[in-house]
Amino acid sequence: MGQIIIHVDMDAFYASVEIRDDPSLKGKPVIIGAMPDERGVVSTCSYEAREFGVRSGMNIKEAYRLCPQGIYMHPDFRKYWDVSEKLHAIWDPYATSSEPIALDETYLDVTETAGDFDRAIEMAHEIKKRTFDDLGLVCSIGVAYSKSAAKTASEETKPNGFFVIRTREDFVELMRERNVRELFSVGPQTAKRLESIGITKIGDIAPRRKDVESALGKQGSFLVDLSQGIDNRKVVAYNPEDAKSVSRELTFQKDTDDYVLIMDLILLLAMSVEKRASDYGHTGGGVQLKVTYSDMKSITRSMTGGIYDDALSIAKGAWELLRNIPRRSIRLVGVGVFNFSESRSRQTTLFDEGRPPENELDHYLERMHRRYNFDFVRNKEVLYRGESLHGIAEHMRLRRNRTR
Ligand SMILES: [Mg+2]
């Protein structure tokens, strides 16, 4: 039996949440991401901002050039995360499995819970209505026989969209004349390679199967199938235990060669990594350091053999890796753990004799407190929440310039 899949995708999610919470923003070009005088990109923007040509992923400087009158805001991930949990509380009970692909987007397998397409369509209308009634937010929905068709459908009439693709034939008919970029998983690079062999339309892919496969290999066969509406992938509920690694990284507002500052930030990144890994019940068997230098050259170094289950051991591992790489001006630093073993639970960890004493971490934080004059270094909960890291890093850098 075929599948019935609903794809739900919130419209301009971060911006919509901010507008909902501050009605004075309504009707205005709201741009969530970096500030115009910072480094970074647009995360999400309201549809009013899109009218100026602003897009997600666009460099913030370019966005500002197009829309200087925009209202620029940093993302508040903690808030979006909370909203996301409420969204899933509405959506997930409709399905046997729910596969989130972003905070605001999920695939729902309703094959069994709906039984047939008509009921699935009713469910999808209910989902849309409840999402708006309960949370005041608008989503677009696609109902289809496969994951990629459902995703295509949810984009079809976005925003506030609703679209159904019942069969492979319907999909092929709908997509035949469209540009390959509209096919699921085709990005600019793949589109360029298809164009280099003379393919621009989705309908041109399958008749050229051999050429597509030799140009794109395995991905080529997948695309040939997709272009014919064939996609048997299942909806796989996200299981944190499947995660292969946990990492956090930070791009500095301004490149820095201040290695004391970099080491301090590594500790903060490590605290955030510890929090995330322990939320998932993971203990790292390896630690990784990623550095991007000012010339954009990136290097990654890692080591295994230890137990990296708390911020200090993760940071110490990363510091050691840092010592062995060339010292130059740095643009980005990232810290991660991998090689997970079965974790001791949080409770046992607290009583584990092998764990570095809590006060050793406190000692480091105390030193940072003095160095940067933070009030909140003592409040580890704030630091554990990695979302505020960019603001903290900037504060630290400014402080450090003054005190150096
Ligand atoms: Mg979305």
At 253 the pLDDT is: 85
Residue 357: what pLDDT? 55
Question: Is the CB of residue 225 less than 8 Å from the CB of residue 216?
Answer: no
Q: How much is the pLDDT for 284?
A: 81
pLDDT at site 385: 52
Catalytic residue numbers read 105
Ligand 1 centroid distance, CA of 375 (Å) = 36
Task: Provide the total of helices (H) and of strands (E) in the chain, helices listed first.
Answer: 16, 13
- CA atoms of 220 and 193, how far apart (whole Å): 11
**Number of residues written out for the chain:** 404
Using a CB cutoff of 5 Å, list residues around ligand 1, an ion: 9-10, 13, 104
Question: How would you classify the pairing of strands 71-73 and 30-33?
Answer: parallel
| CATH code of the domain made up of 1-166 | 3.30.70.270
- For residue 332, the CA-to-ligand 1 centroid distance in Å is 27
Task: Mention the CATH class of domain 171-227.
Answer: mainly alpha
pLDDT (0 to 100) of residue 342: 52
Q: Which residues contact 375 (CB under 8 A, 6 or more apart)?
A: none
Task: Give the residues across from 298 on adjacent strands.
Answer: 292
Distance CA 250, CA 391 (A): 11
Question: What is the per-residue pLDDT across 153-175, written as a single tens digit (0 to 9) for each?
Answer: 999 999 999 999 999 999 999 99
- Output Rg (C-alpha) for the chain, integer angstroms: 24
pLDDT of residue 344: 42
- Domain boundaries along the sequence of the chain: 1-166, 171-227, 240-403
Rounded to the nearest whole angstrom, what is the distance from the C-alpha of residue 290 to the centroid of ligand 1?
29
Output the CA 13–ligand 1 centroid distance in Å.
Answer: 6
Distance 101 CA to ligand 1 centre (A): 10
**Distance, CA 102 to ligand 1 centroid (Å)?**
8
Contacts of 379-382 spanning 24+ positions with Cβ under 8 A:
380/271
| DSSP state for residue 210 in the 8-state scheme | H
Phi-psi region of 329 (alpha: psi -120 to 50; beta: other; left: phi over 0): beta
**Ranges under pLDDT 50 in the chain:** 343-355, 377, 386
pLDDT tens by residue, 323-366: 989 999 999 999 999 877 654 433 333 334 444 556 788 888 88
Name the CATH code of domain 240-403 (choices 3.30.420.10, 3.40.50.620, 3.40.50.300, 3.30.1490.100): 3.30.1490.100
pTM over 0.85: no
Rounded-to-integer distance, Cα 139 and Cα 129, Å: 9
Write the CB contacts of 287 (distance below 8 Å, at least 6 apart in sequence): 302, 303, 306, 308, 313, 314, 317, 318, 321, 335, 336, 337, 338
Cβ atoms of residues 142 and 152 within 8 Å: yes
Residue 353 is predicted with a pLDDT of 41
